[in-house]
């Protein structure tokens, strides 16, 4: 595949490991082991199609079952390991599973159901992640972040995002990032915690809230504080940060 191509992966119930490096080609290894004890009936088929086109790689799982039933026990161990050029972009669609992505520096787009995601050393400038239930962990980040999740905890450290768009229902959103001077940041949370640690830069925080508690630590200056709105500023920047919290705690740290 191309050094800056895109991998499109469609899979379910898999542990997925993706590692970027200086290699020039992609290495795909798929292991699936099914163990049953007792009596099984019906028909089940499973295959994976791997195709390359114009420097991009498509990996698509195909499964079929016809009235499959088991009297006894069923265990499936399903692992996908990808070693790819570090400039590759990812477009992953999956149901359940765990995703471990390391040193991939292209854009990353994930559309997952019940899954945990861990991004390590990924230095691309576009992250778009959709989750139902699960956790997201990132040890760095830059450019734009777009997260849409239901019951999820998000923990991001050592970032320098210029744009953030986050929608969470239940969960915690914990982020450490510098603020771009013209940056735009929007966080919407129903129940849980918003913890926003500013690593550099400044701007205006506009927090609309219902039954929420807002705490600031550092050089924040309060502009307005009422029952349903809190506005604070932080010197050395002009970023715009909007937080919409219902029954959530908000903590701002400099």
Neighbours of 60 (CB within 10 A): 14
Among residues 107, 104, 117, the alpha carbon closest in space to that of 153 is found at 117
pTM > 0.85: yes
What is the chain's length? 254
In contact, 70 and 87? CB cutoff 8 Å: no
pLDDT at 57: 95
pLDDT at 51: 93
Taking 50 as the pLDDT cut, the residues of the chain under it are none
pLDDT at 117: 97
pLDDT at 248: 83
DSSP 125-189: SEEEEEEEEEEEEES-EEEEEEEEEEEEEEEEEEEEEEEEEEEEEEEEEEEEEE--TT-EEEEEE
pLDDT single digits (tens) 127-141: 999 999 899 999 999
């Amino acid at each position: 595949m191309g050094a800056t191509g895109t991998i499109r992966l469609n899979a379910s119930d898999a542990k997925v490991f993706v590692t970027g490096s200086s290699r020039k080609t992609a290495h795909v290894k798929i292991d699936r082991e099914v163990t049953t004890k007792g009596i099984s009936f019906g028909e089940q088929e499973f295959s994976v199609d791997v195709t390359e086109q114009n420097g991009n790689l498509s990996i698509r799982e195909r499964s079929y079952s016809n009235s499959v039933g088991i009297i006894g026990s069923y265990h499936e161990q399903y692992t996908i390991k990808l070693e790819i050029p570090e400039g590759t972009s990812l477009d992953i669609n999956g149901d359940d599973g765990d995703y471990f992505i390391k040193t991939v520096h292209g854009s990353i787009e994930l559309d997952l159901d019940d899954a945990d995601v861990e991004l390590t050393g990924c230095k691309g400038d576009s992250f778009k992640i959709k989750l139902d239930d699960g956790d997201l962990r990132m040890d760095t980040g830059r450019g734009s972040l777009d997260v849409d999740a239901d019951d999820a905890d998000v923990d991001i450290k050592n970032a320098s995002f210029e744009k953030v768009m986050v929608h969470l229902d239940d969960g915690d959103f914990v982020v450490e990032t510098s603020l771009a001077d013209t940056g735009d940041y929007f966080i919407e949370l129903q129940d849980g915690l918003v913890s926003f640690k500013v690593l550099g830069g400044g701007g205006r925080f506009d927090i609309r809230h219902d039954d929420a508690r807002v705490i600031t630590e550092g050089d924040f200056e309060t502009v307005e504080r009422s029952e349903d709105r809190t506005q604070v500023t932080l010197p050395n920047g002009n970023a715009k940060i909007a937080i919409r919290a219902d029954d959530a705690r908000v903590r701002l740290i400099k």
